[in-house]
Amino acid sequence: MTAADDRASARTGGPGRQRRGRTTTALARASAPLACAAAVTCLSLSLFPHPAASGGQAQAGAPRPGPSAADKGSLVLRADRVVLRGARFHGTVTVRTATGTVRAVRLTVRSLDALDLDLTAGRGRAALRLRARPATTATLRGQGAAGVVTLYVRRLSGRVTGVGGGPLPARRAVAVAPDAVPRWLARATGRARTITLVSATVTQVVQRGGRLSVKGAELRAASG
């Protein structure tokens, strides 16, 4: 080794430190997918807004005070098909947010299956977008003793293809909202059914309970 080599080695900490530096860089690159996977595992806690307290039951058109929601912006779920299993309609409630109150439809489900899931949560530069691997089904499943997920929905739209074996509504294209609850849903207050919609969009304010499972998830900034 020449004198110049000795001086370069001293500045960089020697060959051993150089090798350790390259190893650390390689480990950091390898750990990036693991960090992403860990973030996806925690989606049920981070992406979905959670209430401070549960709202009571109410008939359609008679909103009652409901939960409080952090002002993180609504979550918008889009999917080629959404299946609400064990769905029960509990009327409309008022949800308190940091910027005021909003009305929402209260639904409980045992699980929600979404084919080709595309989720956007938050607003502006803080918004995140989660997409599942194409042709896979993501599932939001209830946990705990009750085993249900409570959804406070501002809008649920799509084309109805199944209502638990019952007759399909005359108007298959629906846009459920606090001021526009279709009769076939309002009449089923408290009764559990499996509801299937295609080309579905769900805009919700609050979600309580449940764990989200996504295959091949890709998480990135919504503006990216």
Tell me: the pLDDT tens digits for 98-146?
Answer: 778 999 999 999 999 999 999 998 878 888 999 999 999 999 999 877 8
Same domain, 121 and 109: yes
Same domain, 35 and 48: no
Same domain, 125 and 55: yes
Same domain, 9 and 54: no
pLDDT of 160 strictly over 90: yes
Q: In the chain, how many domains are there?
A: 2
pLDDT of 203 strictly over 70: yes
- Predicted local confidence at residue 49, as pLDDT: 53
Same domain, 195 and 207: yes
Same domain, 21 and 127: no
Same domain, 104 and 155: yes
> pTM of whole model > 0.75?
no
pLDDT of 58 strictly over 90: no
Same domain, 34 and 108: no
Give the contacts of 76 (CB within 8 A, at least 6 positions apart).
119, 120, 121, 201, 202, 203
Same domain, 14 and 71: no
Q: Which of 218, 97, 191, 199 is nearest to 152 (CA)?
A: 97
Structural domain for 26, as ranges: 3-39
- Predicted local confidence at residue 168, as pLDDT: 92
pLDDT of 69 strictly over 90: no
